[in-house]
Amino acid sequence: GKNKRSCSASEAERDLPDFMSELEEAKVVHFNSTLALHRMQMWHALEENMNQSDPEEESLKFVSDRCTFLCSRVKKLQDEASKLQEEITETQKN
């Protein structure tokens, strides 16, 4: 059955930052998961191309290395942004 829980407006207002934080975290997790899936698909396609002894293999290798670097950088920045958001949320609670 449905879990019905009544709460006062003040309780809802008090819990709102936590819910907003959870929602933001879920959005970040979803985005990161989608990004990881796209990366895996891209790497698979690149590997398939490189395995075909393509004359453009060297340029594909360069693009692959550059993408790896950029993906790592994006992940690092996302982690930093997430930590900063957590700090902001904690500061707003106090």
The DSSP line for 2-35 is -------HHHHHHHHHHHHHHHHHHHHHHHHHHH
Q: What is the pLDDT of residue 6?
A: 65
Using the predicted structure, report yes or no on whether residue 60 has a pLDDT greater than 70: yes
Asked if 64 contacts 43 with a C-beta cutoff of 8 angstroms, the reply is yes
Task: Report the pLDDT value the prediction gives residue 80, as an integer from 0 to 100.
Answer: 92
Interval 82-93: pLDDT, tens:
899 989 888 888
Contact assessment for residue 43 and residue 35, using Cβ atoms and an 8 Å cutoff: no
- pLDDT at residue number 5: 60
What is the value of pTM for the model shown?
0.45
Is the pLDDT score of 22 beyond 80?
Answer: yes
